[in-house]
Structure 1
Amino acid sequence: MNVIKDFLLQLALSAIPMFTYQPFFEERGKQGWREKAVMAALWCLAVMLCMTFPAHFGEGYRLDVRVVPLVLGTLYGGPTTGLFLAVFTVGYRLAGGFDPGFYNTLGALLTAFPVVLGNVRRFQAADKAKRIRLGASLTLLYAFVGLLWFQVLNGGELGTLPVQGLHLLFVTVVGGLLTAFYEHLREIRRLRSEMLEAEKFRAIRDLTGIFAHEIRNPMQVVRGFLQLLDDPALPPRKKEFIQLSIEELDRANETINELLDFGKPAGGDNEEVEAGFQLQRVANLLHSYAELRSVTIHTERDADCWIRANPRKLSQCLVNILKNAVESMPEGGSIRAACSAEGDSRVLLTIEDQGVGMTREQLDRLGSPFYSLKESGTGLGMTVSFQIIRSLGGKVRVTSERGKGTRFAISFPKSDR
């Protein structure tokens, strides 16, 4: 019973990072270096506490679940956090001296930890179900390797196998349970954020639909009278003023059209569309625009990338993203636009540029109404694009690094054509 009680204590200790980080940092949506440092420190605290209060059994033998915060901290925090945790684990265990337990810790790290590091990208790119399976299986693998090292260093202590078997089972369950718990919390946060965004968009759509029509009507009247006043006999200075006025009215009208597009539902009139063809068509349309800015667009497309979409809306979405990619490279560069099958059920469109990139704060606000990184931008183009993607059942993932460029990965359900 004491062993079970100790294991339950270990469970509570290994869950400290999630229960602490979630309400104070994850809920605020911040992911800067300070938040990552705090998360790494919390994982280290969990490792230290698990090692400080182990489960005792047999003649001086101890077991703990340090493997859970070590593995999950690496998977969620990335390779840098993982290496920091590994060094901390070895250093803290070294305080107990060069006994078999230290060599057991070192052997397990050298043998199993590279496997965990090799699965970080796979874990971070996976969906919820795959993450839970990976979290549990990598925790089991690490703990099993530690058990093998224990048997080797202690000359095959078969009498300890029942307790070690319980330890393996417990570690696997805890690894999967904590991964599922953390993923569930993140999903709740995402759904709440989407609900707030939907409410905000609904209110903005109602307002923009009303005001856009009321503003555009008198503007069209003013533009018509300005055209009537544009007489060849007028002095050049006055003709210039009239022309500038008409151009500014046209620019304002474009903004109003974006407002109207924002107010319209993005779905409807969907049909079978070859996504690669649409991407190639948009790239061809923007070819001259890109050349004027010393930008080249390279396209790649696989066959059989059919989706259900409104062709006009899909083109509008791709034009917005590609045009932004061109404008993000004031010194010129190249853009890679590709369409490929993502398994048997989805189609992936990727657009990568070599532009100025974005900070984490800018990425978090990307797609918000009226938020733009361009001086003359309204911020509605990207908002409408994100709406179109969502209405087609798509998912968009944007990654960016300041000074190195931005990558859009847009995934759509594949059509059963």
Structure 2
Amino acid sequence: MSIVKDFLLQLTLTVIPIFIYSTFITEKVKSEKNKHVIMTILWGISIILCMSFPVSFGQNARLELRIIPLLLGSLYGGFWPSIFLAGLILLYRLNFGISVGFYNTVLVLLISLPFILFFQKSFKKAKKDKRVKIAVGLSVYYCLIGLTVFGMLRGFTFEHLKVQMIHLIFAVVFTWSFTLLIEKIREIHQLRLEMQDSEKLRVISELTSVFAHEIRNPMQVTRGFLQLLDEPNLAQKKKEYIQLSIEELDRANEIINDFLSFGKPTIHNEIRVDVGNQLHRVVNLIHSYALGYNVEIKTDIYENGWIYANPQKLNQSLINILKNAIESMPTGGMVWISCVSNEDGYIKISIKDQGIGMNQEQIDRLGSPFYSLKESGTGLGMMVSFQIISSFKGKIQVKSEKGVGTEFIILLPQIA
């Protein structure tokens, strides 16, 4: 019973590399070469642990499950990892002194390692089921070689044979289990990569279809007006048609800009920015646009509220949100803009309107790609705004009530 317990301890020591690899290495390390190096080191640690806590029996006889990390490291790693692991076994075994056990280790490695390396290429090309069979077959071969060499050097006794058979059973069962486990981890990882690629293709396809649809509309309108310009007796209408064509082309250009901003990676060229100063600039820029909608803007802006941000990107996000507030009041109204420093270490920007408002479902979907409450909107502008604020480690909160209005609260981390 004590021998079985010792072998179970060996099992625990052998599981450690697989656990560490599946938890920390598989997803985070991208280079296959680096993965092989890390895995070889982990198998080496497992070998040292197994040899440090051996199953002792008879006259200074000892057994370990070092076959498992050696075998799996060789099959999955290749030639150089197998040489490294075998050399590690010999060096560490030499630490216990030159004895019959050391000669036993040398002979077993010399006989079995070339055989393992011979099957390594077949193992690498094989499918999962065949890999399991190759690994199990090689573990049986290694254990039988070990049993034979042990008997030749020490002699065959029933007690020694019993322990060797227990060792063989544990080695075979654990090799089978661990190979299946590793193959399952590799399969799950591959499926996850395929799903990510599939999701990327789906998003690209959806983006392309929406983009094409949104661009086609102003282009078709412009084409229609240009055709009308060719008609005789339309001198008084030409100016109007030209103006409408220009507006549609401007709208197409705006859609393209939103699309490019959505896909463009954020560049972290952030500097110290006074939020109050940027808000004043945005209000000045948007003032004439607000007058066109009969909207009045009132401000209460806290000065010297500093954050780290890209000022152009910050302005872009504020303009997008402010434009939405203005456009939500087709018959005119009031927009309140405030900026204060709160006790949580954030600069709080509030943009509140008297527009049509939103229900909870609309609020939850706000900021999602392609979702817009405007007939001519793509939803990309608001998506970009959320993306920009998030890149500054800030957050956006939305409060709204149908028929009453909407308040956007932007929280940005304040600096001294």
Normalised TM-score (structure 2): 0.50
Q: CA deviation at 1:29?
A: 4.7
Query: 1:182 and 1:154 mapped to 2: Cα distance?
Result: 36
Q: Secondary structure at the match of 2:56?
A: strand
Provide the rounded CA distance (Å) in 2 between the counterparts of 1:144 and 1:89: 19
Gap regions ≥5 residues in structure 1: 224-417
> Post-superposition shift, 1:214?
5.7
Name the CA distance, whole Å, in 2 between partners of 1:34 and 1:159.
Answer: 44
Task: Answer yes or no: is 1:23 the counterpart of 2:23.
Answer: yes
Match for residue 156 of structure 1?
156
- Once the two structures are superposed, residues 292-332 of structure 1 have per-residue CA deviations (whole angstroms, 9 ceiling, x without a partner) of xxxxxxxxxxxxxxxxxxxxxxxxxxxxxxxxxxxxxxxxx
Q: Which residue of 1 aligns with 2:36?
A: 36
- 1:82–1:220 distance in 2 versus 1, CA, 3 Å: farther
Residue aligning to 2:66: 66
SS in 2 for 1:15: helix
Task: State the shift of 1:183 in Å.
Answer: 1.0
Tell me what 2:169 maps to. 169
The CA deviation at 1:65 is 0.5
Whole-angstrom distance in 2 between the partners of 1:120 and 1:155: 33
Cα distance change on mapping 1:76 and 1:222 into 2, 3 Å: farther
**Residue 52 of structure 1, CA deviation:** 0.9
Q: Select between 196-205 and 145-154 the one with higher mean Cα deviation.
A: 196-205
Q: Highest CA radius of gyration, 1 or 2?
A: 2
How many equivalent pairs are there?
226
Q: Distance in 1 between matches of 2:102 and 2:220?
A: 80
Alignment of 1:115-126 (within 5 A): 115-126=115-126
Cα deviations across residues 186-212 of structure 1 (Å, max 9, x unaligned)? 212222232233233222212212324
What corresponds to 1:93 in structure 2?
93
Unmatched 5+ stretches in structure 2: 224-416
Distance apart, 1:221 and its partner CA: 12
Where do 1:132-151 residues align within 5 Å?
132-151=132-151
Task: State the match for 1:80 in structure 2.
Answer: 80
Give SS of 2:98's match: coil
Q: Secondary structure at the match of 1:56?
A: strand
Code of the aligned partner of 1:154: R
1:349: which partner in 2?
Answer: none
Partner amino acid for 1:27? E
Q: Deviations over 1:140-188 (max 9, x none)?
A: 1111111111011113334311111111111011111111111111212
Q: How far apart, in 1, do the equivalents of 2:75 and 2:217 lie? A: 56
Instruction: Kindly indicate whether the alpha-carbon contact (under 8 Å) linking 2:70 and 2:82 is maintained by their aligned counterparts in 1.
Output: yes
Cα deviations by residue, 1:79-102 (Å, 9 ceiling, x for unpaired): 110111111111111111221111
Instruction: Give the secondary structure class of the aligned counterpart of 1:166.
Output: helix
Structure 1 residues 177, 211: closer, same or farther in 2, change over 3 A?
same
* 1:35 CA displacement: 3.3
CA distance in 2, matches of 1:113, 1:215: 65
Structure 1 residue 6 corresponds to structure 2 residue 10: no
Which residue is equivalent to 2:208?
208
Q: Which residue of 2 aligns with 1:57?
A: 57
Q: TM-score, normalised by structure 1?
A: 0.50
Deviations 1:224-256 (A, max 9, x none): xxxxxxxxxxxxxxxxxxxxxxxxxxxxxxxxx
- For 1:129, give the aligned amino acid: D
Contact kept? 2:147, 2:164, Cα under 8 Å:
yes
Query: SS in structure 2 opposite 1:59?
Result: coil
Cα separation, partners in 2 of 1:222 and 1:9, compared to 1, 3 Å: same
Partner of 2:378: none
SS at match of 2:205: helix
Distance 1:151 1:221, change over 3 A: farther
> 1:323-362 to 2 correspondence within 5 Å?
none
Query: CA offset at residue 58 of structure 1?
Result: 2.6
SS of residue paired to 2:27: helix
Amino acid at match of 2:133: R
Hey, what's the Cα distance between the residues in 1 that align with 2:57 and 2:197? 53
Identity %: 44
Measured in 2, the distance between the counterparts of 1:64 and 1:2 equals 14
For 1:138 and 1:59, the matched residues in 2 are separated by 28
Following the alignment from structure 2 to structure 1, what is the Cα–Cα distance between the partners of residues 218 and 114?
68
- Deviation track 1:27-63 (CA, whole Å, cap 9, x = no partner) reads 2252354433222111111111111101122332211
Indicate yes or no: 2:156 matched with 1:191: no
> Aligned-residue CA RMSD in angstroms?
2.7
Counterparts of residues 253-292 of structure 1 (less than 5 Å): none
Deviation of 1:4 (Å): 0.6
Q: Distance in 2 between matches of 1:84 and 1:32?
A: 18
User: What letter matches 1:94 in structure 2?
Assistant: L
- The one-letter code matched in structure 1 to 2:136 is A
- Shift in Å at residue 130 of structure 1? 1.3
The amino acid across from 1:210 in the alignment is: V
